[in-house]
Amino acid sequence: MRDVRIDRRGFLRGVGGVAAGVAAATSLSACGTGTSRSVGSGGKSSKTLVVRNSGGSYGDANQQAIYEPFTKETGIQVKVVNIEYAQMLAQIKQGRPQFDVIDDSMADFVLFKQQDATEDLDHDRLKNFKNAGIAKALVTSNAVGKNYWASVMAYRTDAFDGRKPASWADFWDAKTFSGNRALQALDADLPELEFALLADGVALDKLYPLDVDRAFKVLSEIKPHVRKFWDTGALPGVLLGRKEVDASSVWHGRLDALIKGGAPLAYQWNGARRQSNALGIPKGAANLDAAYQLIDFALRPEVQAAYAEIYPMAPSVPAAYKKLSAGTAANLASSPEHLESGFDLDVEWWIKNQDAVSKRWQEWTHA
């Protein structure tokens, strides 16, 4: 989902590369890269809270659904900085983080934890967390899940003689569903080993630890039918729109505009691979109380719903669905139906194994 500039390569940096990134970034300041702006005028407080997010349309949705209402209610101004993991870590290690709240991938929060760079959250200070029902996979000692995104299957509805692929097994069935395919390249995000294993009959709750040998064996079966390994979030829509492929993996949301415009495309949700963004606080944050206030505000069901109506990332708080329109709810990764038919990516497994898998992927794609 590159258009929202979420750091989907956080996994691919590798834990071993963190120190080098810190050294390279120690001379950089938060205001040196990306954009920042103040929100609202508010009259209840003169305090300014600095939030790191990844910017783009993702940042715009945060601004509209979270920061502006938060400022209106509390008077606390919100300033935004757009910086990446290594630069954030460098500032924290120096003891001078120029941000108070981190909005980032759950993967980066695992790395932050390993570096002792984030506060352990006091959940008693988050009144909206207590009964929120946030999935266990989205709660760690230093982060709480804010929303989901997902990788899913997409296909042309005018292909396959009217048949609709209903699973990754159908995607792999190039005889019944003949046509070209596209899958995600390493440059875009993590290799889609899980989809291969699901196609081979592995149950959703038995995916991890991934059987890497089995996954690559199954990937080799579909490889002759893969027209393109896509490396940008926009490319699946282009390939499908031009009829260069009939089915592809895709970051959910990337085809919404095309579908609304009448393109004969559809998502298939069975076996969706969910990932999440989370909120946390860096060690040394200057405005700890306000940071907790913003995180708590972001977990309100009505705030989560307002965000989802603006941008197709799904609420982490189930009660938000009671406040969503039916059309929006049906198109989100954490809807009750999609939660049951998909799975949460195991962040810790990927961080531990990503170097070996990436090396093997490179060898496999060039074989």
In eight-state DSSP terms, residue 97 is -
In eight-state DSSP terms, residue 63 is I
Half-sphere exposure of 289 (CA within 13 A, CB side): 4
**pLDDT value at position 45?**
59
Mean pLDDT over residues 227-245, rounded?
A: 96
Q: Is the pTM of this model over 0.85?
A: no
Angle at 143 between CA 319 and CA 107, to 5 degrees: 110
Mean pLDDT over residues 318-344, rounded?
A: 93
| CA–CA distance, 354 with 132 (Å, rounded to integer) | 32
| CA–CA distance, 257 with 241 (Å, rounded to integer) | 12
Model confidence at 220, pLDDT cuts 50, 70, 90, reads very high
How many other CB atoms are there within 10 angstroms of residue 116's CB atom? 11
Going along the chain, which residue ranges are E strands? Answer: 48-52, 77-81, 101-105, 139-140, 143-156, 181-184, 226-230, 247-251, 265-280, 314-315, 343-344
What is the identity of the amino acid at 186? Answer: L
**pLDDT value at position 5?**
37
Mean pLDDT over residues 309-322, rounded?
A: 95
180-210: pLDDT as tens digits: 999 999 988 899 999 999 999 999 999 999 9
Residue of 139 and 35 predicted with greater confidence: 139
Tokens (6 digits) for 296:
């708590």
**pLDDT value at position 177?**
98
Angle at 277 between CA 255 and CA 341, to 5 degrees: 60
Mean pLDDT over residues 337-352, rounded?
A: 94
| CA–CA distance, 317 with 303 (Å, rounded to integer) | 10
The yes-or-no verdict on residue 28 having pLDDT over 90 is no
269-304: pLDDT as tens digits: 999 999 999 999 999 999 999 999 999 999 999 999
Q: Is 139 helix (H, G, I), strand (E, B) or coil?
A: strand
**pLDDT value at position 57?**
86
Model confidence at 367, pLDDT cuts 50, 70, 90, reads confident
133-170: pLDDT as tens digits: 999 989 999 999 999 999 999 999 999 998 999 999 99
The yes-or-no verdict on residue 73 having pLDDT over 60 is yes
**Could you please report the per-residue DSSP string of 25-58?**
HTT--GGGSS--------SS---EEEEE---HHH
Q: Across the strands, what pairs with 151? A: 251, 273
**pLDDT value at position 204?**
97
For the ranges 4-18, 34-48, 124-138, 175-189, the lowest mean pLDDT is seen at: 4-18
**pLDDT value at position 201?**
98
| CA–CA distance, 358 with 367 (Å, rounded to integer) | 14
CB-based contacts of 19, cutoff 8 Å, min separation 6? none
Locus of tokens 């932050």: 112
CB-based contacts of 100, cutoff 8 Å, min separation 6? 49, 50, 51, 281, 282, 285, 286, 287, 288, 290, 291
**pLDDT value at position 42?**
39
For the ranges 15-24, 274-283, 307-316, the lowest mean pLDDT is seen at: 15-24
The bridge status of strand 265-280 relative to strand 101-105 is antiparallel
115-127: pLDDT as tens digits: 999 999 999 999 9
Model confidence at 240, pLDDT cuts 50, 70, 90, reads very high
In eight-state DSSP terms, residue 100 is S
Mean pLDDT over residues 350-358, rounded?
A: 96
Tokens (6 digits) for 299:
């977990």
Round the average pLDDT of the chain to a whole number and report it: 89
Nearest to 182 by CA among 103, 252, 237: 237
List the alpha helices (DSSP H) in 53-167. Answer: 56-62, 68-74, 85-93, 106-114
